[in-house]
Amino acid sequence: MIKTVFFDMDGTLYDEAYPKVRAELLTSEYIHERTQVGVCEIYDTFRRVKSVFTKSCSDAMRKNNRKMWFDETLRELNISGITGEEAGEYYWSALLKELFDFALSVWLTIEIVRFYCYNNTVKDFSAFNIERKREEYDNTTSAGKNY
């Protein structure tokens, strides 16, 4: 039976902006390795293209379509031999790897609540508890060693 539903939509416990930016940078490096166009040039063009799409599109699906962002970035940089779809897939793969900490923080929250039987964890969600749970997680699984 579900007793609690936990939402963190404003980045209070986990800021998803960093993993997204990191995935964008990793994708820029991937494109660079395939094309030898400068990483900064790719990243700066991508950020500008992304800004245009997010500001000018009213349709949420189109506004957030990474494939379209990469298609336009590659077009503007005259890059061939790699598609927006391929770059988008690389982006999502990189993002999922970066989001491991997010999954771990959700798991830690659940474990802390379960262990301490707290209904309100905000005041007790200290770095000490998080670090202790991470150590327990590391000691019981091999997956924890990748964060």
Kindly state whether residue 40 falls inside one of the protein's structural domains: yes
Domain holding 126, by residue range, is 100-146
Secondary structure of residue 39 in the 3-state scheme: helix
Q: Please report, rounded to a whole number, the percentage of residues in the chain having pLDDT higher than 90.
A: 36
pTM: 0.63
Is 59 or 103 the better-scoring residue by pLDDT? 59
pLDDT of residue 147: 39
35 in the same domain as 86: yes
111 in the same domain as 54: no
- Rounded to whole angstroms, how far apart are CA atoms 126 and 83? 44
Kindly state whether residue 2 falls inside one of the protein's structural domains: no
**Is-contact 112 127, C-beta < 8 A?**
no
CA within 13 Å, CB half, 46: 29
105 in the same domain as 55: no
Kindly state whether residue 37 falls inside one of the protein's structural domains: yes
pLDDT tens column, 1-48: 666 665 555 566 666 788 889 999 999 999 999 998 999 999 999 999
110 in the same domain as 92: no
105 in the same domain as 115: yes
79 in the same domain as 30: yes
21 in the same domain as 90: yes
Kindly state whether residue 8 falls inside one of the protein's structural domains: no
88 in the same domain as 49: yes
pLDDT of residue 124: 47
The total domain count for the chain is: 2
Show the tokens assigned to 140: 């019981």
Picking from 98, 114, 133, the residue at the C-terminal end of a domain is 98
pLDDT at 145 over 50: no
Kindly state whether residue 133 falls inside one of the protein's structural domains: yes
**Is-contact 101 109, C-beta < 8 A?**
no
- Rounded to whole angstroms, how far apart are CA atoms 24 and 88? 10
105 in the same domain as 93: no
pLDDT at 122 over 50: no
Kindly state whether residue 1 falls inside one of the protein's structural domains: no
- Rounded to whole angstroms, how far apart are CA atoms 106 and 102? 6
Calculate mean pLDDT across residues 105-123. Answer: 62
pLDDT at 120 over 60: no
**Is-contact 73 52, C-beta < 8 A?**
no
